[in-house]
Amino acid sequence: MRSPLPTRSYSTSYSVLPCVAALSMFMLVSATPSSPPPPEKRDTNYGYYIPMDQGGSMLTEVPDTYPAGLGEPINAILSAYSDSTVLQNTLDNGGLINYYQSVGFSTECLGQHSGNSQGANLGDGNGYLNETAVIRWAYGDVNVGTCTETIEGGNHFRYWIQDGPDADSGAIFMAVSYEMPIAQQHNIVPNGYNLGRDWLIGNATAQSTLIPTENLTNASTYSGQTSFNGYTYQTSVNYVSGLLQNTSTGINHFQSVAVNGSNAIDGLVAIMTVQIVSRPTNSGGNTSGAQWSNRPISISWTTLVLVCLLIAASSL
């Protein structure tokens, strides 16, 4: 099951997108090795520490909202009980980014961040930190498909890693939502927080039909497999209540996201536990890999656009 794809015609201003593939080399992958999480990271009651127990929050901090002080729900958690390789913020060796790609998502277009950053306090002693990265629906192409999502809208999420000195679980906290096209300022579609979460879970567990968002409870569970680059992942999901409220209070875009008398969010959080069930024959079960970075190399969007236009012009 994949997220519904918007049906709309492209204007000629987007005709340069095919040349984006020629610029994909500008994505940065550093050579810094990463070690698997130590065993003590698994010593939690739930596979994560509850942020509110140490002064944190399950709502992000969004700049310049109206009214001020609104946030977006952290509505999915990749549990620390997952395979230690999956918990590594890596592109190689079956790590976190490869897992996201198996689910149909990928890193931002050309490594360039679009939109404002949001902060989250996971109660781990790090205080509010901006997201580690934004991951976008790839429209079937993990290399450049997120460029389409940036323009056309779609499912996306920000994530943070709970790894501070006070609560070092290694769990991945995700704020998932389905956004409108850039022409509509990437506002969130009606019921977009709940739907974005459930479409992510539907993809991660390879559901053949849409997850029935309106019927979910804290007893709902899903399970299934996805594969990418020779790695197969088993994802098991259970929905929990108590981390978020069923509310519109304090929720960004609450005026348009809440529909049919329901609140903007239903208060459920999807807890994902991911295991690698098969690896490429030449991987050797290696759990170290090149650390992935969402930071682009020092090159401006202006330069990228000029190069892209030159490539497009040369093909005419």
Please check whether residue 46 lies inside any domain of the structure.
no
pLDDT at 164: 98
| Tens digit of each residue's pLDDT (9 = 90 or more) over 236-286 | 999 999 999 999 999 999 999 999 999 999 999 999 999 999 999 887 654
How many other C-beta atoms lie within 10 A of the C-beta of residue 279? Answer: 17
How many other C-beta atoms lie within 10 A of the C-beta of residue 224? Answer: 18
Exposed e or buried b for every residue in 247-275, given b needs 16+ CB within 10 A? eeebbbbbeebbeeeebbbbbbbbbbbbe
Domain boundaries, position 122? 70-278
Please check whether residue 64 lies inside any domain of the structure.
no
Q: Which two tokens stand for residue 265?
A: 């969010």
Q: Which two tokens stand for residue 296?
A: 């682009």
Q: Are 53 and 123 in contact (CB under 8 A)?
A: yes
Please check whether residue 233 lies inside any domain of the structure.
yes
The residues that bridge with 107 in the sheet, in sequence order, are 135
The closest alpha carbon to 174, from 74, 87, 273, 90, belongs to 74
Considering its fold, how many domains does the chain have in total? 1
**Cα separations in angstroms, 54 against 49, 79, 268:** 9, 18, 21
Give the pTM.
0.80
pLDDT at 290: 42
Please check whether residue 266 lies inside any domain of the structure.
yes
Please check whether residue 40 lies inside any domain of the structure.
no
Low-confidence ranges of the chain (pLDDT < 70): 1-43, 114, 284-316
Question: Could you give the CA distance from residue 87 to residue 89 in angstroms, rounded to a whole number?
Answer: 6
Please check whether residue 169 lies inside any domain of the structure.
yes
Please check whether residue 161 lies inside any domain of the structure.
yes
Beta strands in 165-230 (DSSP E): 167-179, 221-228
Please check whether residue 248 lies inside any domain of the structure.
yes
pLDDT at 113: 78
